[in-house]
Amino acid sequence: MGSQPQVLHDPGPDGSRLRVSMDEINSSMDFHPATAISMSCGTVTIDLARGKVLVIWNSRLKIWQLPKGRRNISESMLEAALRETYEETGYRATPLTLKIPTRASAPTPAGVKKLAKDPDITEGYPSTEFIGACIYPDPQSRTPSLKMVYWYVATADSTTTPDADTQEFWEKLSAKWIPLADAPSTLRFRAEAEAVAQAVEIVKRSGHTIGHE
């Protein structure tokens, strides 16, 4: 028989009692040292006026991907996403402030105490939080590593000329703007196409118009 949910006897602020199983938490919780986690950050960069998304052709792997790369020490995830996008494509993307559903808590004004516990999901609050992540074993790591790619939504003008010589010397990447509708059939990985779809949904929900809609 599985363990029975344990009831925490001290009620919460709303008078409810939390039902949890410590055994289930214990059996499902894993510890991964930092050396076993590869944190990568990238963008879904959209030209809002023309309804296009920025992708890259990886000539080593022969696939189309979204721009992304590893975070540097002391660098924020958003900074890493924008830097990697610039390095891999030559385009300087600007993060979009959107109403992103997130499990981050809404900021509390200084000197104000919260009167209630934060909801599980914060909605309707403008931010530049990441919209989701792809998690998978890193196939290019020489040692076992779990890769976690955090995606941010950004914008850029597809008609401008990208800067040259922004890539690392070992990278063989070519940037291209494609119609948003072509993302599922162009991108090699299903999860990256889902990231594009999620970005489009949040952009529209935040009040932006894409293309000639």
Q: What is the pLDDT along the chain (213 residues), one digit of tens a residue?
A: 556 666 665 666 665 666 778 888 889 999 999 999 999 999 999 999 999 999 999 998 899 999 999 999 999 999 999 999 999 999 999 999 999 999 999 888 888 887 777 788 999 999 999 999 999 998 888 888 999 999 999 999 999 999 999 988 788 899 999 999 999 999 999 999 999 999 999 999 999 999 876
Q: Is residue 151 part of a domain?
A: yes
Domain that holds residue 160: 35-107+127-205
Q: Is residue 176 part of a domain?
A: yes
Confidence (pTM): 0.90
Q: What is the pLDDT of residue 15?
A: 59
DSSP line for 67-118? -EEEPPTT--HHHHHHHHHHHHHS---EE--EE--BSSPPP--TT---SSPP
Q: Is residue 213 part of a domain?
A: no
Q: What is the pLDDT of residue 25?
A: 86
Q: Is residue 153 part of a domain?
A: yes
Q: What is the pLDDT of residue 2?
A: 55
Q: What is the pLDDT of residue 43?
A: 98
Domain count within the chain: 1
Q: What is the pLDDT of residue 18?
A: 66
Q: Is residue 51 part of a domain?
A: yes
Q: Name the residue with tokens 């909801």.
A: 119
Q: What is the pLDDT of residue 16?
A: 66
Q: What is the pLDDT of residue 113?
A: 82
Q: Any idea what DSSP says for residue 118?
A: P
Q: What is the pLDDT of residue 104?
A: 94
192: alpha, beta or left? (left if phi > 0; alpha if psi -120 to 50): alpha
Q: What is the pLDDT of residue 106?
A: 87
Q: Is residue 76 part of a domain?
A: yes
Closest CA to 149 of 37, 52, 57: 37
Instruction: Look at the chain and count its residues.
Output: 213
Q: Is residue 122 part of a domain?
A: no
Give the domain CATH number at 180. Answer: 3.90.79.10
Rg (CA), the chain: 21
Q: What is the pLDDT of residue 17?
A: 66
Q: What is the pLDDT of residue 4?
A: 64
